[in-house]
Amino acid sequence: MTTTHEAVAAAERCTPEFRRDPHAVYAHLRDSAPVCPMRPPHGNETYLVTRYDDARAALSDPRLSKDMYGAMDAYRRIFGDSSVALDDNMLNSDAPKHTRLRRLVNSAFTPRRVEALRPRIEEIVRDLLDECPARERFDLLPAFAFPLPIIVICDLLGVPPEDRTRMQHLSTTVAQTGFGEEAKRAQQQAEEGLHAYFTDLLTAKRERPGDDLLSALIAARDNDGGLTESELVSTAFLLMFAGHKTTAYLIGNAVHHLLSHPAQLRAVREDPELIRAAVEELVRYDGSVESATFRYATEDVEYGGTLIPKGALVQIAISSANRDPRKFDAPDELDVRRPGNAQDAHLGFGHGSHYCLGAPLARLETQLALTRLFERFPRMALADPAGAPRWLEVPFPAFRGLAELPVVLDPAG
């Protein structure tokens, strides 16, 4: 990688080389153009922020709005028309609307409420591992990493078990589309499918409420006027969407990196208490959300000596911030005993008022998944230890995750 221009182009096109090692590109950008205008199709209207201090400040800067509707003109100029039917939620709003929407679901995700889910998560992990083949090579992602968070979030929301596969399929289509016409059509169809699904499910729950989060939200809507019908459907979608892929990819990345760093895995095995710190380090080292969702400049803003003009979109590269040597010593090393890697040191779950609502749940799921997997299969290994991992090829901004994770749980001999 030689020029800034090439670095930005690689990030935008998300070339296989970039997927394999985005960190070399980010290192270049942090040093040469830490707040960098991106090229078409983004135009000069999107700025990429790559240093830790800038990223942390930008994530909580009130001048950088998350209001999807306020930013609609900028979105349309850059991405064309897009449906916002599912976007009327906390992630796409500023205070006071953001505060109101987040408060309604916040209580379901407090550390205490999440801790109460521990026995059920343990049970799901055990059942999934029971089904995995011990001696054969198989892909851990569809067998374990994906079903775990899908089952947990569907249970929590009250989505019936028979609909889980459909949910997974539709939200995968929504997440994995690019700029092409065909991709856009598929995305729109999937969004319409999810909208229709949640509208019907909410109607059914209004008639027969259950002991679940969606029924509680309906009560908030109907009794207190807590949220509009559009906000209700969009909140259901956000929780489903944000609640599973992120965690599934993190579990996959974490298993891959621990199996590739035997000394780190040994440390976690020898000291089970270390699992909490290890998960934080794994989120820092190679978390599943590569870039925060867009912000939109409501006025001219200066970052790192670069002017971001009013109306521009801002993209914050979380993966880059988490490897910034200005913040972390030896950032490219995985160190589960890294001193001071507290939960809020890295930006893997964001920062500020939009800090990940589901972080306590994601942490618990990942801690239990890794602990039980390595405890039960102490000889587990990558099926292709010498082969390069295959990373997802999705447009930027995107999730950071593996396309497959072939392993053998209990190799013979």
- Residues of this chain that interact with ligand HEM (CB under 6 A) are 59, 90-91, 102, 153, 238-239, 242-243, 246-247, 250, 287-289, 292-293, 318, 348-350, 354, 356-358, 361-362
Write down the least CB distance from residue 137 to ligand HEM, Å: 26
Write down the least CB distance from residue 279 to ligand HEM, Å: 9
CA torsion sign for 207, 209, 212, 214 is: positive
- Rounded Cα distance between 179 and 181, Å, is 7
CB nearer ligand HEM, residue 7 or residue 248: 248
CB nearer ligand HEM, residue 255 or residue 318: 318
CB nearer ligand HEM, residue 129 or residue 316: 316
Q: How is the chain split among helix, strand and coil, in percent rounded to 5?
A: 55, 10, 35
Contacts of 333 (CB under 8 A, 6+ apart): none
CB nearer ligand HEM, residue 286 or residue 335: 286
Write down the least CB distance from residue 159 to ligand HEM, Å: 12
Write down the least CB distance from residue 412 to ligand HEM, Å: 33
CB nearer ligand HEM, residue 152 or residue 408: 152
Write down the least CB distance from residue 94 to ligand HEM, Å: 10
Write down the least CB distance from residue 272 to ligand HEM, Å: 20
370: which 2 tokens?
């890794």
CB nearer ligand HEM, residue 90 or residue 408: 90
Write down the least CB distance from residue 169 to ligand HEM, Å: 19
- Rounded Cα distance between 317 and 304, Å, is 15
Contacts of 174 (CB under 8 A, 6+ apart): 187, 190, 191, 194, 241
**Per-residue buried b or exposed e for 110-149, using 16+ beta carbons within 10 Å of the residue's own CB:** eeeebeebeeebeebbeebbeebeeeeebbbbebbbbbbb
Write down the least CB distance from residue 410 to ligand HEM, Å: 27
Amino acid type, 276: R
58: which 2 tokens?
């930008």
- Rounded Cα distance between 195 and 203, Å, is 12
CB nearer ligand HEM, residue 158 or residue 358: 358
CB nearer ligand HEM, residue 90 or residue 216: 90
- Rounded Cα distance between 395 and 178, Å, is 6
- Rounded Cα distance between 232 and 235, Å, is 5
Q: Is 326 helix (H, G, I), strand (E, B) or coil?
A: coil
Write down the least CB distance from residue 133 to ligand HEM, Å: 26
CA torsion sign for 350, 365, 21, 393 is: negative
Would you give the distance in Å from CA 136 to the centre of its chain? Answer: 30
Q: Is 386 helix (H, G, I), strand (E, B) or coil?
A: coil
Q: Nearest residue by C-beta to ligand HEM?
A: 358
CB nearer ligand HEM, residue 202 or residue 314: 314
Query: Residue 392 region, left (φ>0) first, then alpha (ψ -120 to 50), else beta?
Result: beta
Q: Is 157 helix (H, G, I), strand (E, B) or coil?
A: helix
CB nearer ligand HEM, residue 176 or residue 246: 246
Write down the least CB distance from residue 212 to ligand HEM, Å: 13
Instruction: List Cα–Cα distances, 346 to 73, 284, 314, in angstroms.
Output: 32, 6, 19
